Chain A
Amino acid sequence: MKKKKLIPAVVLIILLIGSVSSLYVYATQSDELTISINGQKYTVDQLFFIAELRSIDSLNISGIALDDLIQKVCILPKHHEYTIVGADGYQKTVEWENMENGILTYEKIVVFSDLPKSFRVKNVVKIEVI
């Protein structure tokens, strides 16, 4: 008898949580055309003009080198961590060693050759320096 009441109640709670989350995601989703790096906003074209190109042959992907980009944009020492944030809120924090193996493609996707695909961030809107 208990289960007959509890199980549909759990469904209602999930519906409520899922709906509220969907509203929150919709309200906070960013459709920025620029990428903010350490507080400064750049267009993709600007970034491709600034930084050197790099290819990841094994994945057949090319873009600009993240380590070179950071050095040219921020001129920061290497001992930092970097959080790459996507428009949907997906974010990954990586170390300088990973940035040395990372690229930003023209489609605003960050890819690391030394990390699994779950570390890829699509539609990047921000790179934070921690």
Chain B
Amino acid sequence: MEKKKLFAGIIVFGSLWGFAECILGPILDNAGLPSGALMTSIFAIGLMMISRMLYKKHGMQLGMGIVAGALRMFNPFGGCVICSAIAIAAEGLIFELIWYYLSLDLRELKSYTMKISMGFISAYFCYVGGYITTQILTPLVVSANFYIMNLIVFIPQILSRGLLAAFIGGITVPLVLILKDFNINSIKDKLYYSTAAAVSILCWIFIITNAVLLISS
């Protein structure tokens, strides 16, 4: 696959992820739902899994995390902006590390036990790892002090909350794998690039406009 096509894929899937985090995350949060676990296990894991399956390239999910985190920075509403951006980028990196040792054609994931297990593991580690990373890095980014004890005493809560994300992740991955046989290269270049550009631009314009409107109101 040519690099240009992969780059377009990173931008479009990262933008969709960032869009979901900016728009749906606060809606779930305001509804009193566990938005962090839901966003990680459904949108983050779902989109990273789809991109893994379609493009079969290492490094793509890390790139998506960086794009989604950058988009999250443009939306100053709904939760902690810096923490969310750091957690999103960290989730991309953690997913990449977990799936590094699995084949790119996902031949290991034939049985449902393996599909559910990988979804469970990915969602749990992405949620827990993202949470811990943001607790460490956010104080450093905002020039506040980081106190290790603050994190240690809260670790049981984080490990406990991760279970919800893990169970949902165990459903998300097998569902995404239904689309396994779709070949991204079968899409004509013209249609591929125009769709990727349109979706990415729409996501970014929507988020930036939404932020500007909220600030000015």
Interface positions of A (Cβ within 8 A of B): 3-4, 7-8, 10-11, 14-15, 17-19, 21-22, 24-25, 28, 81, 83, 88-95, 98, 115-119
* Shortest Cβ-Cβ A-B pairs, 9 listed: A117-B80, A18-B163, A21-B159, A21-B160, A93-B147, A22-B160, A21-B156, A118-B83, A118-B80
Residue among A21, A28, A88 facing the most chain B CB atoms (10 A cut-off):
A21
Task: Tell whether B120 is near chain A: CB-to-CB under 8 Å.
Answer: yes
Instruction: Count B interface residues, CB 8 Å.
Output: 34
- Rounded to whole angstroms, the CA-CA distance of A93 and B145 in the bound complex is 8
Number of A-B contacts (CB under 8 A): 89
Q: Label chain B's interface by main secondary structure.
A: helix
Interface of A is mostly: helix
Q: Is B154's beta carbon under 8 Å from chain A?
A: yes
Query: In whole angstroms, what is the CA distance A117 to B144 when docked?
Result: 13
Q: Are A7 and B118 in contact (CB under 8 A)?
A: yes
- B144 to chain A: which residues have CB within 8 Å? 94-95, 98, 115, 119
Complex contacts, A95 vs chain B, CB 8 Å: 144-145
**Separation in Å of the A106 CB from the closest CB of chain B?**
20
Q: Is B166 an interface residue (CB 8 A)?
A: yes
- Known pairs A21-B156, A89-B153, A90-B157; A11 contacts B134 (CB<8 A): no
